[in-house]
Structure 1
Amino acid sequence: MKLPIFLISAVLLCFAGSQANALDTEMFCTGKIYGKGKKAICLPLGELSFADQLVHFSPGKKASKAPFDQGAQALGEPNYKNTRSPDFISLGCDGELVLQFTDNVLVDVPGMDLYVFEVGPFVEKTALFISQDGEQWLPIGTIEGSRSDIDIAPLVPAGERYNFVRLVNAGKSCGGQHSGADIDAVAAVGAEVRLSLNSAVLFDVGQSDLKPEADQELQQLAKALASYGDKAAITIEGHTDSTGSEADNLKLSQARAEAVRIYLVTKTGTDGDRLSTKGYGEKRPVASNDDEQGRALNRRVDVLVAPKR
């Protein structure tokens, strides 16, 4: 049977378009490509792009059967092999998964910002939320059908950064061994590298003057920053725990961020025009302030690097 010429042309155009898209991804990617064909995606930070800490998983109703009910399977790079291999998490009906970015942060860039590696030929409906502190959540939309990406630009203020992502199964039909959306990995396409410094190494309690032992830590930081080239923009953030007054913590965090900036400029020759500082006080914890272990993690200086794209 002969096919109509217009049908043959349409098929060829579709094939050519998908091939062109794949080639464009390969040609212009400055990071690492994940997936193939139409599902190929370029992640500028490569393996650093992925959520890498499990905060919470609740399977909801009609939970998936073991071993597809382990939230940690959504961490790190995608490693899906087949539906029998337990290397992804099935959320279950109304299931909720909260993940954290620890060595990077989610930011808005032109185009897509967040990408979910959902297993299977079709993306099952999943609602997405992002947060700076793991408590206040901003809904950013849903993925479904052939769409696995989200652009946060219309929803977030310019320059804001996010540490947490929450996925909630939103499909009406679920059940069985793989109940709900099947998540292999979650990546920040729009991302900055996070280099986190322990404040206890840099400062005495309640102080913003650098300790002598901070020298070695900051020299190593300078070398790490140099590896990203002289065009990368760098933001130095100061953070505290919730001990003390909010006003004092905000002032202390800004002073500590500024102390690190001054050191980098005067002691390591880092270009000051590339550096900016911001103190957040106790407003952006990465752990609970209910115990000393969590408070210690929250007392930190984060150095965020936006490599030139």
Structure 2
Amino acid sequence: MKFTIYTILIFLFTFQVSAQEGDRTSGKEYPDGEGGTVYLPLGDASFADAVVSNHPGEIPPDEDLPAVRPEYTLGVPDYTKPSAPGFLSLGCDGSVVLQFTDNILIDVEGPDLYVFEVGPAVEPTLLEISYDGKEWIDVGKIEGARADVDIAPFVKENDVFNYVRLTNAGKSCGGRTPGADIDAVAAVGSGYRLSLNSAVLFDLGEAVLQPEAKKELDAIAMQIKEMPGNMRVVVEGHTDNIGTPQVNEELSIERAQAVWDELSKEITIDEELVSIQGRGESRPVANNDTEEGRALNRRVDILILPDS
């Protein structure tokens, strides 16, 4: 199936567990650092994909050790021993910001996030999550070789998050690898995100679908119909920052509704499982100071989330 260059596909999270037989039809198990395992329905795609920033803090780890490289927090847990690569020491008051690019963090029933900490001393860490890497939600202090985190008390329904920030919170900090030692971070709650640039859907400033948009949306509808499991659909309209916030919000709602009106001709789903939202200019994915950035910000995101 062919999509435009602007289409971002983020993998579907779904539990496919037989209540009678107890077998799992998807996902994978990983060592939890305590002699057990963690089951992640999304498998390897659950883990953080990119390092946005790393600040070692007042007392950083020994530069001669492999633990100073933040990229070791990415991907699956691979810690073997303190002298081998596979983890990042945050340093005293140090922090690291990680991004999910092939999945998004959402709230589902039970734990939503796993933080794998390793090393001989397990130290507390402050956890924050963010949609855009600018506005942060404080989830609080976590500790343990494997921290199971439920973000439900801190978020709203249908909120999605792309970034995690971990900051060392230990009172004592020293040695060659000071601070918490992070091996991996995994999002358990995830969903598809199909993002269409508005240029392939609408004329500038308009909310009436162009004739050629139907082909794009037919392809999206086919993709959605092939997804397994029960699901919710959130259609979000987004704009650049040209014009007033009120006008942009209204335009983004109208565009989201127009997209869903077309998709619903092909997709059968209960109305209560569909949410139409206008985000206006509030959630840019690029710099609004350039035409290229504004073009990327004018988009409609279709989020396919597990139905709790």
What SS does structure 2 have at the residue aligned with 1:142? Answer: strand
Cα distance, 1:294 vs structure 2 = 4.0
Q: For 1:1-309, list aligned pairs within 5 A.
A: 27=23, 30-35=26-31, 39-64=36-61, 65=63, 67-120=66-119, 123-229=122-228, 231-266=230-265, 268-271=266-269, 273=271, 274-307=273-306
- Looking at structure 2, the residues matched to 298 and 213 of structure 1 have their Cα atoms a distance apart, in angstroms, of 20
User: Based on CA coordinates, which of the two structures has the bigger radius of gyration?
Assistant: 1
Change (3 A) 1:167 1:207: same
Moved more, 290-299 or 156-165: 290-299
Secondary structure of 2:158's counterpart equals: coil
User: Aligned-pair distance for 1:58?
Assistant: 1.5
Q: CA shift at 1:246, angstroms? A: 0.8
The offset of 1:280, in angstroms, is 0.8
Gapped runs of 5+ residues in structure 1?
A: 1-25
Corresponding residue for 1:15? none
Work out whether residues 31 and 77 of structure 2, in 8 Å CA contact, stay in contact via their aligned partners in 1.
no
Q: Is the 8 A contact 2:69 2:88 kept in 1?
A: yes
Query: Relative to 1, partners in 2 of residues 1:195 and 1:48: Cα closer, same or farther, differing over 3 Å?
Result: farther
Asked whether the 8 Å contact 2:239–2:280 carries over to 1, the reply is yes
Aligned CA-pair RMSD = 2.7
Which whole-Å CA distance do the structure 2 matches of 1:217 and 1:84 have between them? 51
TM-score, length basis structure 2: 0.80
Deviation at 1:28, TM superposition (A): 5.4
Deviation track 1:169-201 (CA, whole Å, cap 9, x = no partner) reads 111333444332222221222222222222222
Q: Deviations over 1:52-96 (max 9, x none)?
A: 233222222122225433333323333334433433322111112
How far apart are residue 29 of structure 1 and its match? 7.4
Q: 1:89 to 1:206 in 2, by over 3 A?
A: farther
Shift in CA distance, 297/52, structure 1 to aligned 2, threshold 3 Å: farther
How far off its partner does 1:290 sit? Answer: 4.1
Give the partner amino acid of 1:96.
S
Name the stretch that deviates more: 70-79 or 88-97: 70-79
Give the conservation status (yes or no) of the 8 Å contact 1:29–1:42. no
Q: The residue matched to 1:244 in structure 2 has which SS?
A: coil
CA contact (8 A) 2:106 2:160 kept: yes
Decide which structure has greater helix share. Answer: 1
Cα distance in 1, alignment partners of residues 285 and 212 from structure 2:
25
Residue 13 of structure 2 corresponds to which residue in structure 1? Answer: none
**What percentage of residue pairs aligned between the two structures are identical?**
52
Distance in 2 (CA, whole Å) between partners of 1:293 and 1:38 is: 49
Amino acid at match of 1:271: I
The one-letter code matched in structure 2 to 1:243 is I
User: Tell me, what secondary structure is at the counterpart of 2:143?
Assistant: strand
| The 10-residue stretch of structure 1 (174-183 or 247-256) with the greater mean CA deviation from structure 2 | 174-183
